Chain A
Amino acid sequence: MSSVPKLNKTQPRWFVFGLLALGLALLPFLVDAGLGRSWVRLLDLALLYVILALGLNIVVGYAGLLDLGYVAFYALGAYVYAWLASPHFGLHLPFWAILPLGAALAALFGVLLGAPTLRLRGDYLAIVTLGFGEIIRIFMNNLNAPVNITNGPQGINLIDPVRLGGVSLSQPQTFFGYTFSGAHLTYYLFLLLVLAVIFISMRLENSRIGRAWVAIREDEIAAAATGINTRNLKLLAFAMGAVFGGLAGSLFASFQGFISPESFNLMESIMILCMIVLGGMGHIPGVIFGALLLTLLPEALRYTGDWQRSLFGQVVIDPADLRMLLFGVALVAVMLYRPAGLIPSARRRREFAEAKG
């Protein structure tokens, strides 16, 4: 019990939390009933992107290090899972054993990327991280000869689904008389991990480390002058972000059952960056919202064919071609109307108001 009064913090209202928990628990069933099974899978994917966005948020949002190669860690996590749990090498390690391995390898690469780039700033850092992401992708694409490590552009197939204590998440399971589909079960697993990642992010944000990151973001020289070890903290930011990326990658591999270098291109890194900037950089609710929005919006835009039919009586432009165009328009429009993001943190909103006025 601290005697310092908590500022700007209301007492937790348990019924609100209870309602939220109930809503989250029922969500896949509502979505399944309202929109169909494929949307439950999309929901799973959206949760994955929440983990990715929160991971990148540590690097870009807290520490202010513009990373355009974040997808490399995602790829590493995915490939580690694929190597250790598929017929490719004949290994079938359990899920919980691989997850830390994927995260650890990603963290190692995070430090490997961070170390040479400590002196770089802003856009120079962006281009080096971008290069790093491309290097990883090209290696994944070509390491099928002379030794077949990644199976090249064909990718790795038949990756084991998650098995928890004998329960496979790829088949429907019956608990307490209810049958849960694989997508539903995956949703609960991912939701659990997302909550863990949110918890870690929140604790980090208000910790000594988190405040040091923000100090580095705002002014690195001043931060160093106040005794912050900028080198170690920047490396830590890269490593922490990479851990979340690797984790999400492993989950992705088990979820899809198939991975190829195609999934880990630069556009993916850019999309994750868009999620956090659009949502509200450095602000956890904003980042979560951005990730959900940018994952679900392109899918929702597939329905433009129906709108066109009701508007013009026919499909004028193939919705598959139109959706990315509308997506681009949405990106521009949101940034023009809310330059600090859809749900900016109080600090950014204040700064922006000052800069404007």
Chain B
Amino acid sequence: MDIFLQQLINGLVLGSVYALVALGYTMVYGILELINFAHGEITMMGAMVALAAIGALALAAPGLPGVLVLGAGLVVAIPVCVALGLLIERVAYRPLRHAPRLAPLITAIGVSIILQNVAMLIWGKQYIPFPAVLPQGRHALFGANITDVQIAILLLTMGIMLLLILMVQKTRLGRAMRATAQSRQVASLMGVDVNRVIAATFVIGSALAAVAGVMVSAYYGLAHYYMGFLLGLKAFSAAVLGGIGNLGGAMLGGLLLGLIESFGAGYIGDLTGGFLGSHYQDVFAFFVLIAVLVFRPCGLLGTRVVERA
């Protein structure tokens, strides 16, 4: 088996999930300059709700094809996550829009603790296995393996990203979002309903998080009430790596982080002569992140913010 190609595939798949979550972070950050710490937990909620729905459906109608069941899971998870995102924005962030910068960060942490514990109360502390509805196909590709799930994740994320870029660049809402990101005040003077734009941002970000949550639980075959924390952390790192507030940056950062991690896990032992094993993959990822930020303090694609006079 070709290890290089295999790590490349794994890294791209992992990276595209990170990218989806990172988009949610970066969109909110671009408009509100707020680290939406609860975003990882929304992803987790998406995974949990979808799992519950898929499990129920698989029990009620055992013969349905896997793709349909998975789609049904998404159909349930997306509205739940969107509602959660809107609720969080309304309750925990909007009242603090003029508060000191760190205040909404703390409410975000509070909300993510709440979501984790609510999930724990509903679904328990154990790992929840993904119901066996997925196609189990495996394809050989130049000596490496790629599964149906991986192909689906890659295609779906590419499609979603393309749609998102089109939406932001071509539609009225997209233009309003870009204007709000540049200056909330001026945008509102030009007749943009800033509150609606911010709500729309949370809707889109949460929907992406729901999709990503389903993907990541399908990929690893399980879900857990605590899964959102690390996933959110990595996605946020990816968003920063690419330049936070920048959509392309989040995509690039996500893919890069996935690749760094997967190659780090595969090669770090060889690189250090066996001194460091694959459990150092996160160290490797963070070192790369720090190195990039030292040389490009605003991320890979981020533009230098004009200093306040």
Contacts and interface: CB of A to CB of B under 8 A. Distances in A.
Interface in B153-203: none
A248 interface: no
B100 A281 contact: yes
B99 A128 contact: no
B55 interface: no
A142 B100 contact: no
Given A127-B240, A335-B106, A325 B117 contact: yes
Contacts of A329: 110, 114
Contacts of B275: 146
Interface in B65-99: 91-92, 95-96, 98-99
Interface in A107-145: 116-117, 119-121, 123-124, 126-128, 130-132, 134-135, 138-139, 141-142, 145
B100 A339 contact: yes
Given A281-B102, A321-B120, A336-B92, A135 B236 contact: no
B237 A336 contact: no
B297 A339 contact: no
Contact of B293 (A124, A135, A317): A124
A335 B237 contact: no
B289 A328 contact: no
Contacts of A355: 98-99
A328 B117 contact: yes
Contacts of B297: 119-121, 124
Interface string A325-343: 1011111100110011000
Interface string B278-309: 01101100110110011001110000000111
A130 B282 CA distance: 12
A124 B240 contact: yes
Interface in A133-161: 134-135, 138-139, 141-142, 145-146
A274 interface: yes
Interface residues on chain A, size class: 35 or more
Contact of A277 (B91, B105, B277, B279): B105
Given A123-B244, A135-B286, A339-B96, A331 B298 contact: no
Interface in A247-264: none
B111 A332 contact: yes
B237 A131 contact: yes
A223 interface: no
A336 B290 contact: no
A330 B106 CA distance: 11
Contacts of B121: 317, 321-322, 325
B58 interface: no
Interface residues on chain B, size class: 35 or more
B132 interface: no
A62 to B, nearest CB: 14
Contact of B111 (A117, A328, A352): A328
A342 B233 CA distance: 28
A235 to B, nearest CB: 15
Contacts of A219: 308
B290 A116 contact: yes
A30 interface: no
Given A127-B236, A142-B279, A325-B117, A120 B293 contact: yes
Contact of B106 (A134, A274, A324, A351): A274
B110 A123 contact: no
B128 interface: no
B113 A340 contact: no
Contacts of B117: 321-322, 324-325, 328
A270 interface: yes
A220 to B, nearest CB: 8
A221 interface: yes
Interface in A79-131: 116-117, 119-121, 123-124, 126-128, 130-131
B145 interface: no
Contacts of A123: 29, 35, 240, 244
A121 B118 CA distance: 34
A278 interface: yes
A37 interface: no
A41 B290 CA distance: 39
A52 to B, nearest CB: 17
Contacts of B294: 116-117, 119
A356 interface: yes
A336 B107 contact: yes
Interface string B110-141: 11111011101100000000000000000000
B109 A126 contact: no
A325 B118 contact: yes
B233 A327 contact: no
Contact of B99 (A321, A324, A352): A352
A342 to B, nearest CB: 12
Contacts of B290: 116, 128, 131-132
A325 B113 contact: yes
Interface string A252-290: 000000000000001000100110011001000000000
28 contacts: A60-B102, A117-B294, A124-B293, A126-B35, A127-B237, A127-B240, A127-B289, A130-B233, A130-B237, A132-B290, A134-B282, A135-B286, A138-B280, A138-B282, A141-B279, A142-B277, A277-B102, A278-B106, A321-B121, A322-B117, A331-B110, A332-B91, A332-B114, A335-B96, A335-B110, A336-B95, A339-B100, A355-B99
Given A273-B106, A340-B100, 14 more contacts: A66-B102, A120-B293, A128-B289, A130-B237, A131-B237, A219-B308, A221-B308, A277-B106, A281-B102, A317-B121, A325-B121, A335-B107, A336-B95, A352-B99
Interface of A: 60, 66, 116-117, 119-121, 123-124, 126-128, 130-132, 134-135, 138-139, 141-142, 145-146, 219, 221, 266, 270, 273-274, 277-278, 281, 317, 321-322, 324-325, 327-332, 335-336, 339-340, 348, 351-352, 355-356
Q: Which 6 A-B pairs have the closest CB atoms?
A: A331-B110, A328-B113, A339-B99, A131-B286, A328-B114, A325-B117
